[in-house]
Amino acid sequence: TGKEIIDRVLLILQIFEHHAGSIEAKLQIELARLKHQLPLVKEAIRYAKLGELHGFLGAGRYGYERYYTMLRMKEARIRRKLEEVRKTRMVRRMRRIKMGYPHIAIIGYTCAGKTTLFNKLTANSKPVGPEPFTTLSPKSSRIELDGVSAIVTDTVGFIRDLPHEIIEAFYATLEEVSYADIILHVIDSSKPLNYIYKNLAEARRILSHIGVQGKPSILVLNKIDLLDGYRDVLEQVKGVKEDNEVVIPVSAEKNVNIEQLKKVLADMLKGRSLGTNIRT
Ligand SMILES: Nc1nc2c(ncn2[C@@H]2O[C@H](COP(=O)(O)OP(=O)(O)OP(=O)(O)O)[C@@H](O)[C@H]2O)c(=O)[nH]1
Ligand SMILES: [Mg+2]
């Protein structure tokens, strides 16, 4: 019912807000909350108008209309601010590209272990937690792998069936994935196979929506410490991987196979740098 959907939107926005790191993320959340409010106020105006026709509730109409106008103005203000923030981020990104560092984006479903892996790769301390949406805004750090420098970005977790008001805010936070050179796709290998397949398919849909296809990717089968053996999952996922993907089983938390992952990354980066002249 409508009521449940409303509650879910506000709930997710609240979780977003709790973890929002960047100005842009905060603005996006505010915008999403406004977008969620506007139709409700419009509905109130409609009812107030009806009330006036029938000779009651009429006094509420102008109050609601003023409120509606105020919300629209606030919306315009947030959109302007967002534009400004995006411009400065664009400048920062251009600087990064000019510095010539390749970009690695860590993506995947919420709670797959993206931030844990990011911490292992960057040796930075970042908030990790068992609750979903620990990360909202993209966070980047420079790393060096076998003498090659790269920028690693930790991204917001994917979630299925996001309410539509929130989708724009969600895609906006994934912007940095679209210009990544290499994608680290973290998968929770302790989940049932059909869940892994479904998430993989959904992740590919999200990626293609933001214009990401065929990029060199590593499917990081994380949390293998929770499995009796990972051979089965590994073979299954290898069976559905695409040509641009390699599969590597790891445990980010227990530090299993992280060195091998780094080595594969370093080789990819070196392979990529050989072909750099082709890139414009
Ligand atoms: N057993 C085990 N647990 C792990 C591993 N990696 C991460 N975790 C746990 O999984 C939970 C989620 O980890 P995060 O790194 O916060 O996951 P995330 O993908 O960044 O999640 P969001 O930021 O919410 O999208 C935490 O409780 C971690 O301690 C692992 O290799 N093995
Ligand atoms: Mg995280």
| Domain chopping of the chain, boundaries | 2-82, 100-278
103 lines ligand 1 (CB under 6 A): no
Ligand nearest to the backbone CA of 119: 1
Q: What is the pLDDT of residue 125?
A: 45
Ligand nearest to the backbone CA of 109: 1
Residue 265 near residue 145 (C-beta atoms within 8 A): yes
The CATH topology of domain 100-278 is Rossmann fold (3.40.50)
- Kind of pairing between the strands at 139-145 and 182-188: unpaired
How do residues 152-165 score in pLDDT, each as one tens digit? 888 878 877 888 87
113 lines ligand 1 (CB under 6 A): yes
Instruction: Report the distance separating Cα 239 and Cα 123, nearest Å.
Output: 33
Q: What is the pLDDT of residue 275?
A: 42
Task: Identify which of 166, 134, 157, 110 has the alpha carbon closest to the alpha carbon of residue 20.
Answer: 134
Instruction: Report the distance separating Cα 80 and Cα 74, nearest Å.
Output: 10
Band of pLDDT at residue 37, cut at 50, 70 and 90 = confident
The lowest-confidence range among 65-79, 114-128, 243-257 is: 114-128
Pocket test residue of 106, 128, 189 for ligand 1, highest count of atoms within 8 A of CB: 128
In terms of pLDDT, which residue wins out, 238 or 179? Answer: 238
Instruction: Report the distance separating Cα 128 and Cα 186, nearest Å.
Output: 15
Q: What is the pLDDT of residue 136?
A: 42
Q: State the DSSP string of 148-185.
A: EEEEEEE-PPB-TT--HHHHHHHHHHTGGGGG-SEEEE
Ligand 1 atom with the shortest distance to the CA of 117: 15
223 lines ligand 1 (CB under 6 A): yes
Ligand 1 atom with the shortest distance to the CA of 130: 27
Say whether pLDDT at 3 is over 60: no
